[in-house]
Structure 1
Amino acid sequence: MSDGDGNWNLLQRVILPSSGQVDTIPLYVDAGSVNGVRLVENDTMYRSPKKVEDKLRLLSSTPREAHIEDLLSRTSLRVVAGDRLSLGTYFNAFPASYWRRWTNVRDIRLSVRTKGDGAVVVYKSNARGSLQRVASERVTGEQESTFELSLKPFGDGGWYWFDLAAGSSELVMLGADWSTRERPRNARPGSVTLEITTLNKPDYCLSNLRTLSENLEVLDAVREFLIVDQGSQKVADEPGFDEVAQRFGGRLRIIDQANLGGSGGFSRGMYEAVESGNDYALIMDDDIVIEPESIRRVLCFADYCRKPTIVGGHMFDLYNRTVLHTFGEVVDAYRIQPALPHEEMQLGHEFGVVNLRQASWMHRRVDVDYNGWWMCLIPTEVIREIGLALPIFIKWDDAEYGLRAKEAGYPTVSLPGSAVWHVSWADKDDLVGWQAYFHERNRTITALLHSPFPKGGRVLRESVQQDVKHLVSMQYFTEHGRIMAMEDLLAGPEHLHRLLAERLPQINALRERYPDAQTKDDIDDFPHPKVTKGPHRSVAAGMPAKKDLIPWALRTVVRQLVQKPAPNSAEFPQAVLAHRDNRWWRTAGYDSIVVTNAEGTGASWYQRDPARLREMLAKSTRLHWRIRNEWEQLAARYQAAAPRISSIDAWKATFEKHTIADSKDKS
């Protein structure tokens, strides 16, 4: 962790995109003279975040991308004569307020090594996004410029960064970093078990292993790279695996186990980290693209935190790589739903359009309840005290763990400048289909464990609303799963470990009973639509007005309960609906419709069935009524059982039962 000077310890290197990430340049370096815009405090026209961003676009020159040929290596770049580049970017600005809030570091040093003529100009921002010039130095020849900077003014937010300006000839940055004289919490850097959970994505997983193997020089603290393979398509069978595995020098291990979902895979990583005596478990998804420097950064930050702290990275959109999908999340305690920490935040921020310096909301420090497990570092000290994940397969395991850690006094930090690329939720629809079971059950379990409100606040009310929406949308397979979820919830927490490996196959076995669960590749695989008479709503029609919503919903439910489907609706769909138009207030007007899926890989045929609707609506009503009446007793049962079922011993028994092979046992 030392930067070569025994008195200074490296916190963050300035880095540039790898050769395969040229479309991410705006996340690393900005070209041009844009420094951002100081907002006028009393400009009431631009108080909303959207209007602020619109004003920034109007008042600032459009940043252009740096030329790829000017990126000389992962740590060096060239500024052509008369030009200017800024490192005030997502990956290279220093998140001063986070270090100020969560660590004892109060003074840092910026070192910039250059060759050529020009200037280094240092800037900072505050929580409002106002920008200030801090210092500058003219440079010539080959030299190192150093700036000693204080973190004291960054109580609520703010970043440090620097710009490079070339003179009459080119200026080359040979390298730059941020360091401190402070020492980490412990005498030595923490050791890590890096674990990736994978399920039938061997190509993604091998690609990430290849990236890690090519960056081992920055991953010296990782004592073991662990793959928990829960699929039938094994990573070890992927062409090229043996060659990549050899690069790890014995630090790579694969565990084959039954599909226990994300909670089972990530809990295995936590368990193995504890068993190996390492200080941290770093858990990661398989279907991501990694920025390896992020691993070094979350580990360094965790080492410096005043108390054991969960440290996670942000998530960029895998298919639009300059779009930041999430900057941090909290749990809305009244609804038990993910929420944004403050009203100025935006999902899907496009750095290619509005850079960090222009995005005023991003300069305010964001404190979170949890971090998604696409990339999350968990101290084993925390694991030993509060246990592993709940055995709830795939949904809400990360949020519930963050809430549990917070209640035990361990914070979570989503650290800017550390991130992965992952498929955004906008390209998925996991509230429909087999995952609906896990959404319903696990959200309610989280409410039973952590909701401070009577009967869980809005949780049951929203659950009833979701059931009605699915039923009037003819999503009977989805609703079957939700009913199973409530039944399993009422059965109690004692069965959760057993259900880990059992429930998903049982849900998938129901598909053949429901046309809406059966997917075909092409629209032409279905009968050609025939328009029939009926109360169809136009695709252009919006949701009914709020004042009309309840009467409209009642009429719709009554119609679907008592009115027979249109003639021939079981033989011919009435229309084809694109996924983005698949909204309950539209599908409720049809008796038979083909709907494409979120992934764009196929379509399903929804067919109205009044008898099924009556049966499922009656079951849903009874189950919700029972959960409401038994809420206090259920909460007590789950709260009493949670320490036991999330314990290392309970998970150890589950792992022993479902482990297929462990590479460390092979001779």
Structure 2
Amino acid sequence: MLDADKETIGSNKGAQKLNKAAARQAISSGTSLHPDAILDRRRLRVEEAQRISLGTYFNGFPASYWRRWTIVQQVRLDLTLSGLGASVIVYRSMANGRSQRVDGWTCETSGPSSASFDLTLTPFVDGGWYWFDVVAGDEAAVIEEATWSAEVPADRAEVGSVTVGITTMNRPDFCAALVAQVGEDPDVNALVDEVLVMEQGTQKVVDDPGFAKAEASLGGKLRVIEQGNIGGSGGFARAQFEALKSDRSKYVLFLDDDIIAEPESILRAVTFGDLARRPTIVGGHMFSIFAKARLHSFGEIINRHRFWWMSPKSAEADWDFGARNLRSSRWLHRRLDVDFNPWFMCLIPLEVVREIGLSLPLFIKWDDSEYGLRAQAAGYPTVSMPGAAVWHVPWTDKNDALDWQAYFHQRNRFVAAFLHSPFEHGGRLIRESLNHQLKHLFAMQYSTVELRHQALEDALAGPEGLHAVLGSKLGDVREFRKGWDDAELSADPDAFPPVRHSKPRRKSDTSEIPSKPSQLISAVLGGIRQFRGTRPLSREFPEGNMPAMDARWYHLATLDSAIVSMPDGTSAAFYRRQPEQFKDLFRRTLEIHERLYREWPTMARRYREALGEITSPEAWEPTFEASLKAGGK
């Protein structure tokens, strides 16, 4: 069942919400593929009189992406099938999700028989896929092999080789398993010039029990590079640096150390890059490592006015393929063009690195998105390619908006905006930053406010010091957070005193989401309360227990203290309202945002003039050496 066409829904908000809810509901008939039907990675059994569709994320052919970004004009489906009377039906879809039958064939023998279908890519300007279904006859059928291929000019037929870069930090088991996935797949191994593991932790991958076997699988192609902890940007910049220095590969492939890879995805990304119309960054998608059928992100863009990363409005986040497959989901058929691809899996041509430089020295956050924008400005697109993906911990399961990572989110967002915002004063970014600061203040998250304030001061200090603090800023930030009530976390529920009130509360249900007018009233009343004294009992006893999902500023603004759970579910903190601290932070927040607005044009010019220098191999090399010394190696 295909979900409703948006043209029939119109602009009615209620109808749109209802359709979104319906689109996420499972439509399975209750039947599922028996595990025994999967004979191996490329062979599938279809029981007699049953029908199996290969119109799935990994098996379908995303024709519109190949039509738009590569030189391929026609694709061939080659299929080998066993089973007398088994039928093959080839389908295509349009950008609006409607499908059409394209061709068909029937197997006339019990033994293996082959068929080929030549399929044009002409009608896929805006979107659409190819796929095929198999219907077994009076006996079971076996899909022996099926491939999508294309004939290309001889000068484009050469397969590009790859340097794989994996940045790791205290995940030896995950990292060793990932290296083995690359080495043990013969087709991927054949593409690899070298696998670089940037070891930045104290728990070494070389000490993992699975490392020796993983290393042997690569036959001498593995190199472990030890350096200090200079973050993901430092690790991936090192991979770019070493790939440029070796000058053997056509691409450098970034892989996070905590993923489960699908080796076929690497082959597809390289093939797509080889056949791209121009040098193109090719990224994979992210599925949840905890729920393997859930696609967490289908593509990322930067809203230039807010200067914030987001999925396009035509896409759906956290999509469950176990409930809705490709054939029943309209939005998956429209081609989605992106500004960048996160670096959990990202293939970058070395030609691009030579021209635009290495990663910015940002430690974590915004390094991948800034690089995509920088490449885009130089004429190099990024494609997040369907059918190429990894399994990773979803971003929604992390706590990076409140802990030490808040510093890097704030500083690096402004650094990227100084470099790439088309607006004279950053568009809505300054106003949005101010609003977030006020919300954190109302929520008694004073350490987060202070970290974000420091981040803005460091961004305003200019680009010249980014390399110098790359290896030390994390330690400084973590040390600074010590002693703040909202940063003192405990996993023990008995570590906190019980809830007590000096007088009964009129309203205690925090699960309700208030309306916009109610939030505005909360902002006004909450602001007034900040300049009043606190209730004496709240200094020793919390006035409420606040689950993480309810810990919104408009709820916390009504309290003088609270036990607040963290989003990752592992701990909680005892928040206390501090009127004097609020006044000081409020004043400095207003001052620095006024300064941001005033100095924006100057800062944008300074960052843009320095970009080529601070991302050059020459600037990065002493940073790598300094990190090694700082780490005591």
Q: Is the 8 A contact 1:537 1:589 kept in 2?
A: no
Q: How far apart, CA to CA, are the structure 2 residues paired with 1:582 and 1:522?
A: 19
- Judging changes above 3 Å, is the alpha-carbon distance between structure 1 residues 617 and 576 closer, same or farther for their aligned structure 2 residues? same
1:553-632 equivalences in 2 (<5 Å): 553-560=523-530, 562-632=531-601
Shift of 1:213: 2.9
Specify the alignment match of 1:116 in structure 2.
83
* Bigger mean CA deviation after superposition, 384-393 or 199-208: 199-208
Specify the alignment match of 2:419 in structure 1.
449
Specify the alignment match of 2:62 in structure 1.
95
Q: How far apart, CA to CA, are the structure 2 residues paired with 1:532 and 1:412?
A: 58
Specify the alignment match of 2:46 in structure 1.
79
Q: Deviations over 1:471-512 (max 9, x none)?
A: 111111111111110111111110001111111100101232
Q: How far apart, CA to CA, are the structure 1 residues paired with 2:504 and 2:240?
A: 55
Shift of 1:339: 2.4
Structure 1 letter corresponding to 2:551 = N
Specify the alignment match of 2:608 in structure 1.
639
- Judging changes above 3 Å, is the alpha-carbon distance between structure 1 residues 540 and 265 closer, same or farther for their aligned structure 2 residues? same
Q: Is the 8 A contact 1:541 1:586 kept in 2?
A: no
- Judging changes above 3 Å, is the alpha-carbon distance between structure 1 residues 540 and 182 closer, same or farther for their aligned structure 2 residues? same
* Bigger mean CA deviation after superposition, 129-138 or 447-456: 447-456
Shift of 1:431: 1.1
Q: How far apart, CA to CA, are the structure 2 residues paired with 1:505 and 1:195?
A: 25
Structure 2 letter corresponding to 1:518 = E
Mapped pair 1:474 → 2:441: no
- Judging changes above 3 Å, is the alpha-carbon distance between structure 1 residues 455 and 536 closer, same or farther for their aligned structure 2 residues? farther
Structure 1 letter corresponding to 2:96 = R
Shift of 1:554: 3.1
1:460-499 equivalences in 2 (<5 Å): 460-499=430-469
Specify the alignment match of 1:328 in structure 2.
299
Structure 2 letter corresponding to 1:453 = F
Structure 1 letter corresponding to 2:45 = R
Identity %: 45
Specify the alignment match of 1:125 in structure 2.
93
* Bigger mean CA deviation after superposition, 445-454 or 65-74: 445-454
- Judging changes above 3 Å, is the alpha-carbon distance between structure 1 residues 199 and 622 closer, same or farther for their aligned structure 2 residues? same
- Judging changes above 3 Å, is the alpha-carbon distance between structure 1 residues 150 and 661 closer, same or farther for their aligned structure 2 residues? farther
Q: How far apart, CA to CA, are the structure 1 residues paired with 2:621 and 2:154?
A: 32
Q: Is the 8 A contact 2:180 2:213 kept in 1?
A: no
Specify the alignment match of 1:308 in structure 2.
279
Structure 2 letter corresponding to 1:131 = S
- Judging changes above 3 Å, is the alpha-carbon distance between structure 1 residues 539 and 653 closer, same or farther for their aligned structure 2 residues? farther
Mapped pair 1:137 → 2:105: yes
1:175-214 equivalences in 2 (<5 Å): 175-183=145-153, 186=156, 188-214=158-184
2:327 is paired with a residue whose SS is: coil
Structure 2 letter corresponding to 1:637 = R
Q: Is the 8 A contact 1:76 1:175 kept in 2?
A: yes
Structure 1 letter corresponding to 2:229 = N
* Bigger mean CA deviation after superposition, 192-201 or 374-383: 192-201
Task: Report how many aligned residue pairs link the two structures.
Answer: 626
Q: How far apart, CA to CA, are the structure 2 residues paired with 1:291 and 1:617?
A: 49
Q: Is the 8 A contact 1:534 1:589 kept in 2?
A: no
2:255 is paired with a residue whose SS is: strand
1:526-545 equivalences in 2 (<5 Å): 526-533=496-503, 538-540=508-510, 542=512, 544-545=514-515
Q: How far apart, CA to CA, are the structure 2 residues paired with 1:38 and 1:482?
A: 43
- Judging changes above 3 Å, is the alpha-carbon distance between structure 1 residues 211 and 63 closer, same or farther for their aligned structure 2 residues? farther
2:594 is paired with a residue whose SS is: helix
Shift of 1:346: 0.9
2:39 is paired with a residue whose SS is: coil
Q: How far apart, CA to CA, are the structure 1 residues paired with 2:21 and 2:495?
A: 45
Q: Deviations over 1:234-254 (max 9, x none)?
A: 111222322321221111111
- Judging changes above 3 Å, is the alpha-carbon distance between structure 1 residues 397 and 58 closer, same or farther for their aligned structure 2 residues? closer
Shift of 1:188: 2.1
Q: Deviations over 1:296-329 (max 9, x none)?
A: 1100000000110000001111211111111111
Please report the TM-score for the alignment, with normalisation by the length of structure 2: 0.94
Q: How far apart, CA to CA, are the structure 1 residues paired with 2:518 and 2:113?
A: 71
Q: Is the 8 A contact 1:543 1:585 kept in 2?
A: no
Q: How far apart, CA to CA, are the structure 1 residues paired with 2:159 and 2:275?
A: 9
Specify the alignment match of 1:29 in structure 2.
none
Mapped pair 1:653 → 2:622: yes
1:374-413 equivalences in 2 (<5 Å): 374-413=344-383
Specify the alignment match of 1:30 in structure 2.
none
Q: How far apart, CA to CA, are the structure 2 residues paired with 1:73 and 1:206?
A: 24
Cα RMSD after superposing both structures: 2.3
1:552 is paired with a residue whose SS is: helix
- Judging changes above 3 Å, is the alpha-carbon distance between structure 1 residues 454 and 644 closer, same or farther for their aligned structure 2 residues? same
Structure 2 letter corresponding to 1:418 = A
- Judging changes above 3 Å, is the alpha-carbon distance between structure 1 residues 142 and 216 closer, same or farther for their aligned structure 2 residues? closer
Q: Deviations over 1:375-403 (max 9, x none)?
A: 00000100000001111111111111111
2:338 is paired with a residue whose SS is: coil
* Bigger mean CA deviation after superposition, 574-583 or 501-510: 574-583
Q: How far apart, CA to CA, are the structure 2 residues paired with 1:185 and 1:614?
A: 67
Q: Is the 8 A contact 1:93 1:159 kept in 2?
A: yes
- Judging changes above 3 Å, is the alpha-carbon distance between structure 1 residues 152 and 660 closer, same or farther for their aligned structure 2 residues? farther
Shift of 1:549: 3.9
Q: How far apart, CA to CA, are the structure 2 residues paired with 1:193 and 1:203?
A: 21
Q: Is the 8 A contact 2:27 2:323 kept in 1?
A: no
Shift of 1:197: 0.9
Q: Is the 8 A contact 1:536 1:589 kept in 2?
A: no
Specify the alignment match of 1:216 in structure 2.
186
Specify the alignment match of 1:24 in structure 2.
none
Q: How far apart, CA to CA, are the structure 2 residues paired with 1:66 and 1:179?
A: 27
Q: How far apart, CA to CA, are the structure 2 residues paired with 1:268 and 1:157?
A: 37
Q: Is the 8 A contact 2:237 2:359 kept in 1?
A: yes
1:281-320 equivalences in 2 (<5 Å): 281-320=252-291
Mapped pair 1:364 → 2:325: no
Q: How far apart, CA to CA, are the structure 1 residues paired with 2:568 and 2:132?
A: 41
1:320 is paired with a residue whose SS is: coil
1:62 is paired with a residue whose SS is: coil
Mapped pair 1:417 → 2:381: no
Specify the alignment match of 1:254 in structure 2.
224
Q: Deviations over 1:389-442 (max 9, x none)?
A: 111111111111111100000000000000011111221231111111111111
Q: Deviations over 1:350-381 (max 9, x none)?
A: 11111001111110001110001110000010
- Judging changes above 3 Å, is the alpha-carbon distance between structure 1 residues 621 and 549 closer, same or farther for their aligned structure 2 residues? same
Shift of 1:543: 5.0
- Judging changes above 3 Å, is the alpha-carbon distance between structure 1 residues 86 and 49 closer, same or farther for their aligned structure 2 residues? farther
Shift of 1:184: 7.2
2:471 is paired with a residue whose SS is: helix
Q: Deviations over 1:526-556 (max 9, x none)?
A: 1222233387863446455434544532331
1:499 is paired with a residue whose SS is: coil
1:2-17 equivalences in 2 (<5 Å): none
Structure 2 letter corresponding to 1:578 = P
- Judging changes above 3 Å, is the alpha-carbon distance between structure 1 residues 544 and 518 closer, same or farther for their aligned structure 2 residues? same
* Bigger mean CA deviation after superposition, 480-489 or 241-250: 241-250
Q: Is the 8 A contact 1:437 1:484 kept in 2?
A: yes
